[in-house]
């Protein structure tokens, strides 16, 4: 009897988890499908570029405030600083990816007809898609590193001049 109750509980928990995973996968697929439309692609580019520019301008014009804010928040909870770094990485990553999607519109959904070299074209396309994802990751990492260096240099200069 107890085993049946545990089994039913585990099945209900697994069902909830599976539905959450499916919803998340559907959300990702819907956003990737939206990137096929050029107007949506331009809108995503504009939004991501504006958000990234806002982060850059806040760091360039108010480096001491940003550094003091991160230090204050970091003293309270280290996880918030990690979330901020992850957001900056994500902005650079998705902006780089969207720019590559503008250059290669068929990146995620290639059209291979039944032709003699379909396997070769699929292999070449897979390598291109892998390189785009790697370049997007490098774009996100560079966004974090350069912003961090700017913050340390500018905030260090301003703090020593005060």
Average pLDDT over the chain reads 80
Q: What phi, psi does 82 have (nearest 5°)?
A: -65, -40
In a 13 Å sphere around the CA of 73, the CA atoms on its Cβ side amount to 13
pLDDT band per the 50, 70, 90 thresholds, residue 162: very low
Which sequence spans correspond to the domains of the chain? 1-34, 38-161
Q: What does the chain come to in residues?
A: 162
Mean pLDDT (whole number) for 115-139? 85
Lowest mean pLDDT among 59-73, 88-102, 104-118: 104-118
* Dihedral angle sign, alpha carbons of residues 58, 63, 66, 70: positive
pTM of the model: 0.70
Residue 133 pLDDT > 70 = yes
């Amino acid at each position: 009897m107890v085993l049946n109750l545990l089994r039913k509980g585990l099945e209900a928990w697994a069902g909830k988890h599976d539905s959450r995973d499916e919803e998340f996968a559907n959300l990702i697929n819907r956003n990737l499908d939206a990137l096929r439309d050029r107007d949506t692609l331009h809108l995503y580019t504009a939004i991501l570029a504006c958000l990234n520019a806002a982060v850059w301008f806040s760091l360039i014009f108010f480096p001491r405030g940003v550094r003091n804010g991160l230090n204050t928040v970091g003293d309270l909870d280290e996880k918030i600083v990690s979330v901020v770094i992850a957001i900056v990485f994500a902005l650079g990553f998705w902006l780089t990816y969207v720019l590559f999607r503008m250059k290669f519109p068929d990146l995620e959904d290639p059209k291979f007809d039944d032709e003699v070299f379909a396997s070769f074209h699929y292999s070449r396309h897979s390598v291109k898609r892998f390189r785009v994802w790697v370049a997007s990751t490098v774009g996100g990492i560079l966004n974090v590193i350069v912003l961090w260096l700017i913050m340390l240099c500018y905030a260090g200069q301003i703090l020593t001049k005060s």
